[in-house]
């Protein structure tokens, strides 16, 4: 079982300035290079490259310990669920416009698209935080779900991890992820909490607002012991593969210097033509 050693206390830069001791300013527990050798989380890099799969190596690098067989299977499942992204997605569109303008490298467009994996598009970070906080309270599931749903409906009017603008009966990826995760024993306390939250919201609204992909990915990764920041980052990296497909398609087959044309509804709704007042000339600030 993977588990992380306790993290050292975080120290503000002001403490360093006051003490004048910068000796542990750049400390890392991830990897080491010395005398022509490299270790990752303590293991010689050669062993990892030769004997682990990419999925296992990713888990080790992020968490510090090797995954067991169940963890490997569930983690791989979560990784491959974020891959599809149609043009029906803000991140793919941001990436394609950037690629249209910066075709020499895929990297600026990748960065641009990842920056568009915010709270609205479906980052799993916020649902993960919600589920982890809810499970940590140690309450009975339906009681915890009641509190979570009440809290979010009051503060924001909706609940993270549930609902989709188009797939009203359930997002196919979310449904498949939830089912296969269950078969692999990967839908545990955080998954059940999400089920309870879905049920509670349906009760309150009188209609089902199904678990979406961000919610299902958040539950599976939280059940594997990942924390919300890392879950959000994995969500962005997962998008990355589909973004890369779009970016290369855009640069090879798309349209240089893309615009949004009037034919697609670009419309000006500002003031009519007007002119600077007579005598208005640059003012010295």
From CA 110, how far away is CA 105, in angstroms rounded? 9
182 binds its own copies (CB under 8 A): no
**Rounded (5°) CA angle 37-41-46:** 40
86/155 with CB nearer its own copies: 86
Q: State the DSSP code for 264.
A: G
Which residues, 142 to 171, sit near its own copies by CB under 8 A? Answer: 165-167, 169
58/208 with CB nearer its own copies: 58
125 binds its own copies (CB under 8 A): yes
One of 2, 43, 133, 151 touching its own copies (CB under 8 A): 43
251 binds its own copies (CB under 8 A): yes
Half-sphere exposure of 188 (CA within 13 A, CB side): 14
234 binds its own copies (CB under 8 A): yes
Residues with Cβ within 8 Å of 125's Cβ and at least 6 positions away in sequence, in order, are: 119, 218, 228, 229, 231, 232, 235
Round the CA-based radius of gyration of the chain to a whole number and report it: 24
140/249 with CB nearer its own copies: 249
Shortest distance, CB of residue 113 to its own copies, whole angstroms?
8
Read off the tokens for 33.
Answer: 């290079």
One of 1, 3, 7, 157 touching its own copies (CB under 8 A): 7
Query: 3-state class of 62 per DSSP?
Result: helix
124 binds its own copies (CB under 8 A): no
From CA 83, how far away is CA 79, in angstroms rounded? 8
Shortest distance, CB of residue 198 to its own copies, whole angstroms?
18
User: What does each C-alpha distance from 187 to 177, 183, 218 come to in angstroms?
Assistant: 10, 8, 11
One of 1, 3, 104, 206 touching its own copies (CB under 8 A): 104
118 binds its own copies (CB under 8 A): yes
Shortest distance, CB of residue 189 to its own copies, whole angstroms?
22
Could you count the other beta carbons within 10 Å of the beta carbon of residue 39? 16
One of 132, 160, 162, 173 touching its own copies (CB under 8 A): 173
Return the residue matching tokens 């400390």: 27
From CA 52, how far away is CA 228, in angstroms rounded? 25
Number of residues that bind its own copies (CB under 8 A): 152
One of 1, 2, 45, 131 touching its own copies (CB under 8 A): 45
From CA 66, how far away is CA 79, in angstroms rounded? 17
Contact stretch for its own copies (CB under 8 A) within 134-142, 143-151, 196-204, 264-272: 264-272
138/267 with CB nearer its own copies: 267
């Amino acid at each position: 079982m993977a588990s992380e050693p306790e993290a050292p206390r975080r120290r503000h830069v002001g403490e360093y300035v006051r003490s004048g001791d910068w000796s542990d300013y750049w400390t890392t527990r991830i990897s080491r290079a010395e005398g022509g050798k490299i270790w990752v989380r303590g293991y010689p890099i050669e062993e990892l490259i030769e004997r682990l799969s990419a999925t296992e190596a990713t888990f080790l690098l992020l968490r510090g310990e090797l995954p067991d067989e169940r963890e490997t299977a569930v983690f791989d499942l979560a990784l491959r669920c974020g891959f599809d992204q149609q043009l029906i997605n803000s991140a793919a569109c941001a990436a394609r416009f950037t690629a249209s303008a910066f075709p020499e490298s895929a990297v600026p467009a990748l960065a641009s698209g990842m920056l568009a994996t915010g709270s609205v598009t479906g980052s799993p970070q916020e649902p993960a935080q919600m589920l982890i906080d809810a499970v940590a309270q140690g309450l009975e599931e339906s009681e915890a779900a009641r509190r979570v749903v009440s809290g979010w409906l009051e503060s924001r009017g909706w609940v993270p991890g549930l609902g989709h603008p188009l797939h009203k009966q359930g997002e196919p990826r979310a449904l498949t992820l939830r089912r296969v995760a269950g078969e692999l024993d990967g839908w545990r306390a955080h998954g059940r909490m999400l089920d309870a939250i879905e049920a509670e919201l349906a009760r309150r609204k009188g209609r089902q607002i199904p678990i979406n992909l961000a919610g299902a990915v958040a539950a599976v990764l939280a059940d594997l012991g990942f924390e919300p920041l890392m879950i959000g980052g994995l969500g962005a990296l997962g998008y990355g593969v589909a973004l890369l497909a779009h970016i290369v398609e855009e640069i090879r087959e798309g349209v240089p210097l893309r615009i949004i044309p009037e034919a697609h509804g670009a419309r000006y709704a500002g003031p009519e033509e007007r002119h600077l007042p007579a005598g208005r000339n640059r003012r010295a600030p």
